[in-house]
Amino acid sequence: MKLERIRPTVAAALLSLCLGSALAQAPAPIRIGFLATFSGALAPLGRDQYDAFMLAVEQRGGRLGGVQVQVLKEDDQFKPEVGTQLVQKLIERDNVPIITGITGSNVLMAIAKPIAEKQVFLISTNAGPSPLAGAQCSPYQFVASWQADVIAEVVGKYAADKGYKRVALMAPNYQGGKDILAGFKRLFKGEIVGEIYTPLQQLDFSAELAQVTASKPDALFAFYPGAGGVGFVRQYQQAGLLKTLPLLTTGIIDGTTLPALRESALGIVAGHVWGPDLDNTANRQFVQAFEARYDRIPSNFAAQAYDGALLLDSAISTVKGNLSDKIAFAAALKSADFKSIRGKFQFGRNNFPVQDLFIFEAVKDAKGRMTMKSIAAPLKNHADMYAAQCLMK
């Protein structure tokens, strides 16, 4: 245990020495705190985020932007109080200049301000709650994934484009669920025949599904993250609804749940920022490398984290490894000058992405595995609707 304490102190001493004479010498390793959820129901998400991030680091020989990085992995257990404590540990004990990862919005809401106050850079590669996109934006805070509402907005647009007139909605009864359904309704102009919020942690949806079928909609839009989602799809298929009622989703079908669902997910439509078959070189290389390294198809959570690593790679390279000039580093991050695996990527003025959004369908690939196939791109260069409330330049 003593060794653990000596290394950080030595590293800190080295770092200060180097920063003092920041010239032609090779910069000291940059410590990056990777705070995500590695236990509990969201563990697959955190694991994908970490695996993809480390893949990017490994591909560059343990470096980002040409500088050695030391990634400190911490598990927030999806609890905000644990997250705040770990952030304090990362900042005060380990002196990290950058914290990335962040799986859950509740954790992000708890740690955003303490991190910004200490002038540490926060790059979230999953959570993107609306308050941080609006009035609580900060130059130290970047969300490289998506703002929570947009993945529902794209499905709303798709439903409108597809000509659905009557749609039923289902989501769990919490803030995230309500925001998602609100996002859907923003761009869908038809009739909402039912908006059902199910009690949190409820696992059996037979009653609600019966209710929905009784109202005879053209389609059902549902949002069920985690365990609820897998159960929801299974029950949907067992009720025979997959054949009769199109299911539009977000947050249910992704690389972490498809292996458990297999054929019961066939034909389900989902909206998201990325899919494994997006047609650009960077993405093809990423998917190939990820599959070779980890023997599974990457999920969007992996893709988002990989993009986050590429973002850091470009920014650190721009400032030549010198993170002491925070304004310059913030500008380098904001310029987002890297080849995103999503194709086009830039930051809006609230440091949230402006990106294309896609619609996918769950299909079987050539090897018989379940994957997502892109079938539409309804929103291009789409910004979230909270940017106007952010007062940064």
Partner 1 sequence: MADHDNYTRTRWLAPAFVVAALALLPVAAHWTGQTYYQVIGTRIMVFALAAAGLNLILGFGALVSMGHALYLGVGAYSVAILSHYGVSSGWIHLATALAISTACAFVIGAVCLRATGVAFIMITLAFAQMFYFLAIGLRAFGGDEGLQISLRSRFGPLDLSDATTLYYVAFAVLMLTLVAMHRLVHARFGLLLRGVKNNERRMRALGFPVRRYQLVAYVLSALVCTMAGLLLANLTRFASPSYMAWNVSGELIVLVILGGLGTVIGPVVGAGVWIVLEETLTSFGLGLPNDGDAWMREHWLGFLGLLIVWVALSMRSGLYGSLVRRRGGTER
Partner 2 sequence: MTWALLATQLLNGLQLGVLLFLLSAGLTLVLGIMNFVNLAHGSLYMMGAYFAAALYGRTESFLLAAIGALAGTLALGATLERLVISKLYQRDHLDQVMATSGLILVLNEVVRIVWGVSPMFIGLPEALRKTVTVMGFQYPAYRFLVIAVGLLMGAGLYLLIHRTVVGMLIRAGASNAPMVSALGVNIGRINALVFAAGAGLAGVAGAMAAPIFSVQPGMGESVLIQVLVVIVTGGVGSVRGAFYAALIVGVVDTIGRVLLPSLLGQLFESSVAQAAGPALGSILIYLMMAVVLAVRPKGLFPVKHG
Chain residues in the site for partner 1 (CB under 8 A): 1, 3-5, 38-39, 74-75, 79-81, 84-85, 88-89, 92-93, 105-106, 109-110, 112-114, 129, 173-176, 178, 199-200
Tokens of 352: 């949230």
- Of 180 and 316, the one with the shorter C-beta distance to partner 1 is 180
**Binding partner of 4, given partner 2, partner 1, none, CB within 5-8 angstroms per partner class:** partner 1
Bridge-partner residues for 364, per DSSP? 370
Binders of partner 2 among residues 17 to 56 (CB under 8 A) are 38, 40-41, 43-44, 47
User: Judged by CB under 8 A, does residue 210 bind partner 2?
Assistant: yes
- Of 162 and 369, the one with the shorter C-beta distance to partner 2 is 369
User: Judged by CB under 8 A, does residue 227 bind partner 2?
Assistant: yes
- Of 178 and 293, the one with the shorter C-beta distance to partner 1 is 178
Least CB distance from residue 67 to partner 2, whole Å?
31
Q: Are 265 and 86 in contact (CB under 8 A)?
A: no
Least CB distance from residue 2 to partner 1, whole Å?
9
Can you give the three-state secondary structure of the chain, one letter per residue?
A: CHHHHHHHHHHHHHHHHHHHCCCCCCCCCEEEEEEECCCCCCHHHHHHHHHHHHHHHHHCCCEECCEEEEEEEEECCCCHHHHHHHHHHHHHHCCCCEEEECCCHHHHHHHHHHHHHCCCEEEECCCCCHHHHCCCCCCCEEECCCCCCHHHHHHHHHHHHHCCCEEEEEEECCHHHHHHHHHHHHHCCCEEEEEEEECCCCCCCHHHHHHHHHCCCCEEEECCCCHHHHHHHHHHHHCCHHHHCCEEECCCCCCCCHHHHHHHHCCCEEEECCCCCCCCHHHHHHHHHHHHHHCCCCCHHHHHHHHHHHHHHHHHHHCCCCCCCHHHHHHHHHHCCCCECCECCEECCCCCEEEEEEEEEEEECCCCCEEEEEEEEEEEEECCCCHHHCCCC
User: Judged by CB under 8 A, does residue 73 bind partner 2?
Assistant: no
User: Judged by CB under 8 A, does residue 180 bind partner 2?
Assistant: no
**Binding partner of 44, given partner 2, partner 1, none, CB within 5-8 angstroms per partner class:** partner 2
- Of 237 and 314, the one with the shorter C-beta distance to partner 2 is 237
Least CB distance from residue 371 to partner 1, whole Å?
28
CA-atom Rg of the chain in angstroms: 21
User: Judged by CB under 8 A, does residue 201 bind partner 2?
Assistant: yes
- Residue 351: which of 317, 303, 390 has the closest Cα? 390
- Of 141 and 237, the one with the shorter C-beta distance to partner 2 is 237
User: Judged by CB under 8 A, does residue 208 bind partner 2?
Assistant: yes
Least CB distance from residue 75 to partner 1, whole Å?
7
Q: For partner 2, which residue of 117, 119, 189, 259 counts as binding (CB under 8 A)?
A: 259
**Binding partner of 93, given partner 1, partner 2, none, CB within 5-8 angstroms per partner class:** partner 1
User: Judged by CB under 8 A, does residue 197 bind partner 2?
Assistant: yes
User: Judged by CB under 8 A, does residue 14 bind partner 2?
Assistant: no
- Of 173 and 288, the one with the shorter C-beta distance to partner 1 is 173
The number of residues making up the chain comes to 393
Angstrom distances, CA of residue 376 to CA of 19, 203, 366: 49, 31, 21
Least CB distance from residue 361 to partner 1, whole Å?
30
Least CB distance from residue 239 to partner 1, whole Å?
27
The sign one gets for the Cα dihedral 44, 49, 51, 52 is positive
User: Judged by CB under 8 A, does residue 173 bind partner 2?
Assistant: yes
Least CB distance from residue 222 to partner 2, whole Å?
15
- Of 22 and 241, the one with the shorter C-beta distance to partner 2 is 241
- Of 80 and 267, the one with the shorter C-beta distance to partner 1 is 80
Question: Which residues of the shown chain bind partner 2 in the complex (CB under 8 A)?
Answer: 38, 40-41, 43-44, 47, 173, 195-204, 206-208, 210-211, 213-214, 226-231, 234-235, 238-241, 256-257, 259-262
